[in-house]
Amino acid sequence: MVKISADNCIKCKKCEAICPVTGVDIENNNISKDCIQCYHCGAICPQKAIGKGKLVGKTSQNNIQPYDFELLMEQRRSHRIFSTQQVSPELLKKFVEHMRYSPTASNLQNLSFTIVTNKKKLKEINDLSIETISKAFRSINDITKPIIRLLKGRHTLKTMEQSKRKFLQKAELRKDMICYNAPALIVVHSESMPTGMPCHDANIWTGMATLYAELLNLSTCINGYIVNAAKRNKKIKQVLHIPIKNEIHSTILIGYPRTKFENRIERKMPKINFISE
């Protein structure tokens, strides 16, 4: 719990100004029960008079230049061809622990992580996901198509049919098309809740994790198929030993790359609208 040290406080009230829930009252030496424990107050206090116990040190000068980050973004790509070299459990554990500083949408900090390195388990997840999604796609047939067209429109139906064709065709050719023989899988999940934004937290975490992995000479592939399959098949959570009340938000394959992308490729420019007046 956040506390105010009245002896050290100089009443600059920077903490009051920075609090996202206006929960700091310096005059009355009080922290509101609405506190979300983001510790912005402790991070900004020049006297270390608030949030004491959560401080880990002074902020340091950021030596990463914009060009360095831009280059990292440009060279990061999804990998589906992994080396047979295993990623040590210690490295994977530290990877997830260091990523606790990832931004969040609501600061609930309630994400849980399941790391799978067991080859049999990875294959089971791979096969269950293919089986589950294939079954879902096969439900798009001559009987259901008119209903989908009526409810969703022709364009949606056409897109679903294209996705069905590509998935089933690839599943026939590549039996490892979900996990790609990756040495490890990180599953991000949390308890289902009517409030809060754990799904957004997980997506933010996953995006940041793919960049951090590059700096460790690791490669990643964000895998939405497992997430979608888990929503349709409870057995996937059972294989992962994830409580049934938890919801899987994102998954990433991670390992050392067997191949190297030599060139940076241009991407489509985003559409940008300014509202300035």
Please give the pLDDT value at position 53.
62
Q: Domain with 13 in it: what CATH number?
A: 3.30.70.20
Q: Do 84 and 160 lie in a common domain?
A: no
Residue that finishes a domain, picked among 39, 57, 75: 57
- Asked if 103 and 209 sit in the same domain, the reply is yes
Taking the CB of residue 144, how many other CB atoms lie within 10 A of it? 12
Q: What is the pLDDT of residue 60?
A: 73
Q: What is the structure's pLDDT at 222?
A: 97
* 230 touches 202 (CB < 8 A): no
The pLDDT of residue 257 is 95
Model pLDDT, residue 56: 67
Same domain, 166 and 191: no
Which pLDDT score, from 0 to 100, does residue 54 have?
64
Same domain, 165 and 229: no
| Distance from C-alpha of 151 to C-alpha of 168, rounded to nearest angstrom | 24
What is the mean pLDDT for each group of 10 consecutive residues in the chain (277 residues)? 85 92 91 88 89 69 87 94 96 97 89 97 98 96 95 96 95 95 97 87 97 96 97 97 96 95 91 94
Q: Are residues 48 and 74 in the same domain?
A: no
Angstrom CA distances, 82 to 88, 139, 179, 255, stand at 15, 33, 10, 6
Whether 87 and 223 share a structural domain: yes
Q: What residues pair up with 84 in beta bridges, in sequence order?
A: none
Domain membership of residue 44 as a residue range: 1-57
Q: 156 and 23, same structural domain?
A: no
Q: What is the per-residue pLDDT for 153? A: 96
How far apart CA 169 and CA 127 sit, in angstroms, is 15
- Asked if residue 34 is part of any domain, the answer here is yes
Domain count, the chain: 3
Question: Is 263 contained in some domain?
Answer: no
Residue positions counted in the chain: 277
SS3 call for 210: helix
Q: CB within 8 A of 14, min separation 6: which ones?
A: 44, 45, 46
Burial class (CB in 10 A: 0-12, 13-18, 19+), 234: exposed
Residues in a beta bridge with 222: 252
CA 249 to chain centre: 7
CATH number of the domain enclosing 229: 3.40.109.10
State pTM to two decimals: 0.89
Distance separating alpha carbons of residues 274 and 260, to the nearest angstrom: 38
Q: Do 145 and 196 fall within a single domain?
A: no
Out of 57, 87, 102, pick the residue that ends a domain: 57
272 is a domain residue? no
184 and 251 both lie in a single domain = yes
**99 C-beta neighbours (distance < 10 Å), count:** 18
194 shares its domain with 246: yes
Do 249 and 189 have their domain in common? Answer: yes
Asked whether 22 and 31 are in contact (CB, 8 A), the reply is no
Residue 3 lies in a domain: yes
158, part of any domain? yes
Residues 6+ apart with CB under 8 A from 270: none
Residue with tokens 């057995």, as numbered in its chain: 235
Whether residue 38 is found in the same domain as residue 161 = no
